[in-house]
Amino acid sequence: MDLRLQGLNAVVTGGTKGIGRAIVETLLTEGARVAFCARHGAEVAQVQAELSAGSAKVRGHALDVRDGDALKAWVAEVNGEFGGIDIVIANVSALAISHDEAAWRNGFEVDLMGTVRLVDAAMPSLEKSAHAALVTIASVSAREIDFASGPYGAFKAAIVHYTQGLAFHLAGKGIRANSVSPGNTYFPGGVWTQIETANPKLFAEALALNPTGRMGTPQEMANAAVFLASPAASFITGTNLVVDGALTRGVQL
């Protein structure tokens, strides 16, 4: 299927590893021009160099999404350089699993407000696009009580609600908004590789919950996100697409 992304401009937060990097790479493969950000400058520079090796149209920027002014300035810079923004993908997460107050504050600032600020900053550009699309990366923890039922699950649930609200209010402007809820996603350096080493019992329990017998890959999550962001999904808005290999048991009505 031709996703019709050739020539479109996208911004992605948290684009140096895992699902975020897979999203960046998939958008580039499909012909989009991509600007991505992440906190650590060295990682951003490395990924920029790796992805630019094939003359891809990609720009990396070191940025902490908790800094609203810096986030707004980056989006404005991308808009000016690219001549517009068509696609916004809010992927970055604080992965706030613990239940202390610091984790709640971090999850609020990164996951929730990082998403809201990104959308607000990009909205003037999206309103001018003929193919405007917003995609937020939530989690199955947003719809089921699991080990991440503290700030992580709570703020991911808030993101799904926020995104569906955007879909309703922006439909008249031709701006689509959808979320993707990944299941457990395994990749080198990711949270599940850390759990596999530090807490093998939890890892085994989590793996046993999935009837496919495995966890997902970043590419499988990226495929869903990029499809929803593309003109090929032109009549899909207000959807939370669960990509979990039948991990969750709740019926999504």
Q: Do the domain assignments include residue 54?
A: yes
Identify the pLDDT of residue 97.
83
Q: Do the domain assignments include residue 200?
A: no
Identify the pLDDT of residue 147.
76
Q: Do the domain assignments include residue 101?
A: yes
Measured between alpha carbons, how far is 177 from 243 in angstroms, rounded to an integer? Answer: 17
The predicted-structure confidence for 81-113, as pLDDT tens digits, reads as follows 999 999 999 999 999 888 999 999 999 999 999
Identify the pLDDT of residue 54.
66
Q: Do the domain assignments include residue 3?
A: no
* Number of domains into which the chain is organized: 1
Q: Do the domain assignments include residue 98?
A: yes
Cβ atoms of 78 and 35 closer than 8 Å: yes
Residues marked active site are found at 152
221-246: b (≥16 Cβ within 10 Å) or e: bbbbbbbbbbbebeeebbbbbbbbbe
Measured between alpha carbons, how far is 152 from 139 in angstroms, rounded to an integer? Answer: 9
CATH no. for residue 48? 3.40.50.720
Q: Do the domain assignments include residue 95?
A: yes
Q: Do the domain assignments include residue 174?
A: yes
Q: Do the domain assignments include residue 209?
A: no
Identify the pLDDT of residue 146.
81
Identify the pLDDT of residue 79.
98
Identify the pLDDT of residue 55.
64
Cβ atoms of 88 and 118 closer than 8 Å: yes
Which domain covers residue 158, as residue numbers?
9-185+217-243
Q: Which residues of the chain have pLDDT under 70?
A: 54-55, 253
HEC assignment per residue over 134-151: EEEECCHHHCCCCCCCCH
